[in-house]
Amino acid sequence: MRILLISDIHANWAALEAVREEFDVCLFLGDLVDYGLEPNPCIAWVREHATHAIRGNHDHGAAQEVYLQGASGFRYLTGVTRPVTCAQLSADDRRYLATLPSTLYLTLDEKRFLLVHATPRDPFDEYGPPDPEFWKRRLEGIDVDYVCVGHTHVPFVLQVGATTVINPGSIGLPRDGDPRASYAIITPEGIELKRVDYVVGDTIRLLRQSNLPEMAKNLLTEIYRTGKLDKKNGHQEVVVERTVEMPKLA
């Protein structure tokens, strides 16, 4: 069996479309939306091709119409792109995002998997580095062969006792200094972290044509081109959250 593991698409259709791997099973680890400006084709692709999918923090926030106000960094980018996301989502797509599970246990080829966007302790928000001691504490009482996570946008494979922790990195917005779309392949022969080039100019062109603030355009352009956000641009944010009541879905 050939398993495609993808995460953190973030509405970057050009990057997702560049992934042309053959697979028997596709596992999606959350964060379809925000940052990028093309959520609809990305959601459609995952709905059609992902055998199993879970909800990320951005999917949850967009589905519930939670708006953020951040002074800088990724909180700022979430704040300015989420209204664009929500304006494009149909009721059916919002329902789809809202009903994705936050964690999922499954068995494939007699191997046990746990899928969770962040960590088993905090499925949406905790950042899990490639640190054996960190994961040893998070895996207490969890008896699986693979824990598949996303959220950090940094790919890694880590052996923790009898469990392999896999983060395939981000399809749409890598943060490890390599701007290529990142994903993983699992086969009986092992695990392979892979990258693929995509036409980043298409993503940036769409961004530049949008009505987003110039600061957001510049920050996102930097990340798309370099695979990281320079620290000088700031990661200290003061955030105010407000929840808009989500319309009832039939």
CATH of the domain at 18: 3.60.21.10
Q: What is the model's pLDDT at position 65?
A: 87
Q: What is the model's pLDDT at position 240?
A: 33
Q: Please say whether the dihedral angle defined by the alpha carbons of residues 31, 11, 226 and 238, taken in this order, is positive or negative.
A: negative
- List the chain pLDDT tens, one digit each, 250 residues: 999 999 999 999 999 999 999 999 999 999 999 999 999 999 999 999 999 999 999 999 999 988 877 777 999 999 999 999 999 999 999 999 999 999 999 999 999 999 999 999 999 999 999 999 999 999 999 999 999 999 999 999 999 999 999 999 999 999 999 999 999 999 999 999 999 999 999 999 999 999 999 999 999 999 999 999 987 654 433 333 333 333 333 3
In a domain, 169, yes or no: yes
Q: Which amino acid, residue 58?
A: H
CA distances in angstroms from 142 to 58, 131, 146, 176, listed in the order given: 25, 17, 10, 28
Contact 39, 11 (CB under 8 A): yes
Q: What is the model's pLDDT at position 239?
A: 35
Domain region containing 50: 3-243
Q: What is the model's pLDDT at position 230?
A: 83
Q: What is the model's pLDDT at position 245?
A: 35
Number of Cβ within 10 Å of residue 8's Cβ equals 30
In a domain, 248, yes or no: no
In a domain, 215, yes or no: yes
Angle at 134 between CA 132 and CA 135, to 5 degrees: 65
In a domain, 218, yes or no: yes
In a domain, 67, yes or no: yes
In a domain, 250, yes or no: no
Domain count, the chain: 1
In a domain, 249, yes or no: no
In a domain, 188, yes or no: yes
CA distances in angstroms from 131 to 150, 156, 190, 197, listed in the order given: 15, 10, 21, 28
